[in-house]
C-alpha cells in the first residue's frame, strides 16, 4: 500500500515535463548538433530582415525624404504601409506553416525561407531605385509582403526540433539578430553613405542597394544551410531523428498529426490567454518599432550630426543584444518568463523617463541605452511565450497569428505617432505615450503570470484530491489542449 501511495503522489506532482532520461548526455549532444545547424543561419536571415526593414531610418537622415520630395507625414505613412502589409500576409503565412493541410506540405522550410529572403533582398535593392513618393509607398508594401513569412516560419521550425523548455533561449538568440541589425545597420550606413555620388547615385540609395545585394547573396547560400523538416533532416542520422521525434512526442503535441478542425480555432478565439499574449506584444511592438525606426532621428535630434547619429546607434543596439542573451539565459535557468518581461518593461520606462528629464545630450543618450535594452529584451521573451503555453497545433497557430496581428497594429500606431512635428520637442509626447504602452504591457504580463500560476496550483490540488480517491487518470486529454488537468503553463 505504501508503494502504491508513493506512486500516486509522484503522479500528482507530475507537471507533464520531460522525464529525466530525455536529458542524457547524448540528448545534449544531439541538441548542440541541431543548434549549430539551425541557429546561425536562421539568426542571420532575421538580422537581414530587420536590417532591410529599418535601414530606411538611416537613409532618411542623409537625404531620402528631400530627394524623393517626401513630406514628413508621408514618410510616416510609408513606414505604416510596411507593417499593414506585414500583418495582412503574416497571418496566412503562420497558419500555413502550422496547420496540417496536406497540399501545403510542399512548402519545405529549406526552400520556403531562402526564397522569401531572396525576394525581399530584391525588393530591398529596388528601394534604392525609387524616384518619387508613390514608388516609396509601393516598395514598402512589397517589402512587408515578402518579409511576412520569415518569422512564423522560423518559429515553427524551432517547434519541430526543440522541446517547449528549450525554445525560449533559441528564440531569444534568433531575436537578438534584430538588435544586432541595428548595430550593424549604423556602421554599414556610415560606411556606405561615403559612396555618395558614385555611379550618379546618392548615399542613401547605396544603403538600400548594397544591403539588399548582401541579402540576395546570403539567400543563395541559405538554400544549402536552412534545414528541412526534422523527420527527414539529412544532417541527422536515423537514430538521431528518431530520438528527436521521441523527445517531441513526450513533451508536447509537436509530434502529433493533428487534423484541422474549427473546434480548435474557436478554442483560440475564446481563450482569454491568447488575447492576453496578443495585447502583451501590442504594447511592446509599439516601442520596438518606433524606437528601431526612429533611433537615428532621435539621436540626431539630441544635437549630433547625421554621420555621428549613424555611429551612435551602435552602442545601444549592441547593449540590447547582450541584455537579451543574458536575461533569457537567466529566465531559462529558472524557467520563468513573466517577472523578466515585467522587469524589462520597467527598464525601458526608466530609459524613456531619462530621455524626458535629462538636461544634456549625454544624459539623454544614456536614456536611449536603457530604453533599447528593455524594449528588445521584453520582446525576445514574450514572442516565445504562446508557443510554449498554447497546446494543440491549430490553436497554437491561431494564437501566434493573433499575437502577430494585434501586436503589429501597435507598430503601425508607433510609427504614426512619432510624427515629425514632435521632433522639435525631442519627441516628448510620443515618449510619454511609449511609457503608457509599456505600463500596459507590464500589467498584461502580470495578469498572465498570476492567472497561470494560480491555475497550475489549482490543477495540482485537484490531482491531489483525485489521488486520495484513487481516481487519477493515466493519460492527457489531447483534445483539451492546454486546459487539460495534466498540462502546466510556463510562467
CA distance 37 to 20: 25
Q: Which three cell numbers stand for residue 249?
A: 512526442
Residue 105: the pLDDT is 47
What is the tens place of the pLDDT at every residue in 189-201? 889 988 998 999 9
What is the tens place of the pLDDT at every residue in 66-111? 899 999 889 999 999 999 999 888 766 655 555 444 333 456 889 9
- Going from the C-alpha of 95 to that of each of 91, 112, 319, 409, the distances in angstroms are 6, 14, 34, 18
pTM: 0.83
Length of the chain in terms of residues written: 491
Residue 473: the pLDDT is 55
Closest by CA to 375, choosing from 431, 310, 451, is 431
Say which CATH superfamily domain 21-247+258-483 falls into: MFS general substrate transporter like domains (1.20.1250.20)
Residue 258: the pLDDT is 59
> Could you tell me the residue ranges of all domains in the chain?
21-247+258-483
| CA trace torsion 193, 197, 199, 203 (10° rounding) | 20
Residue 166: the pLDDT is 84
What are the mean pLDDT values of the chain's consecutive 10-residue runs (491 residues total)? Answer: 40 40 80 93 93 90 89 91 88 57 58 94 95 95 92 83 84 83 84 90 94 96 91 89 85 61 80 93 94 87 82 90 90 89 97 93 93 94 86 78 87 88 78 96 97 91 76 59 79 86
Closest by CA to 425, choosing from 345, 323, 356, is 356
Q: Are 332 and 435 in contact (CB under 8 A)?
A: no
Residue 103: the pLDDT is 37
Amino acid at each position: 500500500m505504501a508503494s502504491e501511495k508513493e506512486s500516486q503522489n509522484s503522479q500528482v506532482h507530475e507537471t507533464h515535463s520531460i522525464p529525466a532520461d530525455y536529458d542524457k548526455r547524448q540528448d545534449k549532444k544531439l541538441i548542440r548538433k541541431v543548434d549549430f545547424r539551425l541557429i546561425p543561419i536562421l539568426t542571420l536571415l532575421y538580422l537581414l530582415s530587420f536590417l532591410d526593414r529599418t535601414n530606411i531610418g538611416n537613409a532618411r537622415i542623409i537625404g531620402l525624404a528631400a530627394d524623393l520630395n517626401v513630406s514628413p507625414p508621408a514618410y510616416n505613412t510609408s513606414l505604416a504601409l510596411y507593417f499593414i502589409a506585414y500583418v495582412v500576409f503574416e497571418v496566412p503565412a503562420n497558419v500555413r506553416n502550422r496547420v496540417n493541410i496536406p497540399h501545403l506540405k510542399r512548402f519545405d522550410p529549406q526552400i520556403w525561407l531562402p526564397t522569401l529572403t531572396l525576394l525581399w533582398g530584391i525588393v530591398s535593392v529596388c528601394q534604392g531605385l525609387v524616384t518619387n513618393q508613390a514608388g516609396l509607398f509601393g516598395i514598402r508594401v512589397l517589402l512587408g509582403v515578402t518579409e511576412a513569412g520569415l518569422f512564423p516560419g522560423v518559429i515553427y521550425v524551432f517547434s519541430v526540433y526543440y522541446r517547449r523548455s528549450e525554445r525560449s533561449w533559441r528564440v531569444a538568440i534568433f531575436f537578438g539578430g534584430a538588435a544586432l541589425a541595428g548595430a550593424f545597420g549604423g556602421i554599414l550606413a556610415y560606411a556606405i553613405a561615403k559612396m555618395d555620388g558614385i555611379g550618379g547615385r546618392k548615399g542613401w540609395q547605396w544603403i538600400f542597394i548594397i544591403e539588399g545585394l548582401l541579402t540576395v547573396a546570403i539567400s543563395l547560400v541559405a538554400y544549402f544551410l536552412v534545414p528541412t523538416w526534422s523527420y527527414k533532416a539529412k544532417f541527422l542520422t536515423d537514430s538521431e531523428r528518431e530520438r528527436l521525434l521521441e523527445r517531441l512526442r513526450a513533451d508536447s503535441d509537436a509530434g502529433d498529426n493533428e487534423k484541422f478542425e474549427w473546434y480548435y480555432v474557436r478554442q483560440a478565439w475564446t481563450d482569454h490567454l491568447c488575447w492576453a499574449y496578443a495585447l502583451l506584444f501590442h504594447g511592446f511592438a509599439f516601442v520596438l518599432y518606433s524606437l528601431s525606426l526612429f533611433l537615428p532621428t532621435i539621436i540626431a535630434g539630441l544635437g549630433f550630426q547625421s554621420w555621428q547619429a549613424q555611429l551612435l546607434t551602435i552602442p545601444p543596439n549592441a547593449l540590447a543584444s547582450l541584455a537579451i542573451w543574458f536575461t533569457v539565459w537567466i529566465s531559462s535557468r529558472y524557467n520563468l518568463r513573466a517577472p523578466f518581461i515585467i522587469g524589462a518593461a520597467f527598464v525601458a520606462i526608466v530609459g524613456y523617463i531619462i530621455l524626458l528629464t535629462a538636461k544634456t545630450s549625454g544624459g539623454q543618450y544614456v536614456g536611449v541605452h536603457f530604453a533599447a535594452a528593455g524594449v528588445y529584451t521584453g520582446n525576445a521573451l514574450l514572442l516565445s511565450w504562446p508557443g510554449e503555453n498554447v497546446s494543440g497545433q491549430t490553436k497554437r497557430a491561431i494564437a501566434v497569428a493573433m499575437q502577430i496581428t494585434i501586436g503589429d497594429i501597435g507598430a503601425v500606431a508607433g510609427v504614426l505617432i512619432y510624427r515629425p512635428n514632435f521632433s522639435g520637442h525631442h519627441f516628448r509626447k510620443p515618449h510619454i505615450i511609449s511609457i503608457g504602452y509599456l505600463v500596459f504591457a507590464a500589467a498584461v504580463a502580470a495578469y498572465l503570470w498570476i492567472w497561470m500560476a494560480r491555475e497550475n496550483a489549482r490543477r495540482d490540488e485537484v490531482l491531489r484530491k483525485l489521488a486520495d480517491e484513487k481516481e487519477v487518470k493515466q493519460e492527457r486529454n489531447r483534445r483539451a489542449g492546454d486546459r487539460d488537468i495534466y498540462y502546466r503553463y510556463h510562467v
